[in-house]
Amino acid sequence: MKTLLVSIVAVTLSTAAVSARLAPSNSHQQERELLQLPGTNKSACELIHQEDLPEECSCREPDAFGLVIECLKPFESAYFNDTIGMKINLDPCNPDGSSLSLDVTEEEHNVDITIVGVKAGEEQNFPIPGLSIVVPTIGHLGVDVAVLIYGNPDKLTVKVGLNACMAAGPQHQYCASGIPGLSRVLPWYVLKGTYEFGDFCNSTNTTTSSLPLSSVSDEDDKDRVTMFE
């Protein structure tokens, strides 16, 4: 009888131990609740209003920290007849400041350029080598990648696209927007607005923060290691 009683107690304790190991920890539960809070349940692509992107562009999220926009834009006009590829990697939650990188391609002139590390507070025009537009009576306008990023994750203003300009004296320039006919073609912007990533970045930081090893199961630990390899 004593032997049977001891066996029952041992089985009960063993079952309780297994149940405790498989049950979600308080930390895991808090993470799930945070992800369900109002304002934190939108993806990065939703926050930039992907439905407003040019029809030639698509948005995806290869990881938990930002987004990638890819475009293949054909231009068909008497001024500019070409196809430009653009890939924008936006990193709004970078602890060193929001930033973006770009890849721009053009097949006819074998253009393949990479622009990295444009950080919040910068506005730049990057010439695309070999690409220009000839406008009668005006001249050649070089095609540029126009980039502006300003602010912080709470209110991040981003403007990325293509433009064409030429210098006209020390303090003046002609740009496509001021030339009849060409103004219907350029500038062309992929992103142009102010976006709110504050809650997204906060929820991302909470979700990806490391937890004590004792609070995760072996399977969770394997998943976490694979994600950061």
The larger pLDDT score, comparing residue 189 to residue 168, is at 189
| pTM for this prediction | 0.72
Residue type, 144: D
Distances from the Cα of 35 to the Cα of 43, 200, 206, angstroms = 11, 9, 9
Average pLDDT over residues 116-135: 94
Is residue 96 helix, strand or coil? coil
- As a whole number, mean pLDDT of residues 164-174 equals 83
- The stretch 3-22 carries a mean pLDDT of 39
Q: Could you tell me the two tokens for 105?
A: 């391609």
pLDDT score of 226: 32
Token pair listed for 221? 């630990």
DSSP class of residue 199?
A: H
Query: Does the structure show a pLDDT above 50 at 198?
Result: yes
What pLDDT, on the 0 to 100 scale, is given for residue 206? 56
pLDDT of residue 144: 96
Which tokens go with 102? 């770009």
| Residue 41 pLDDT grade (very low, low, confident, very high; cuts 50, 70, 90) | confident
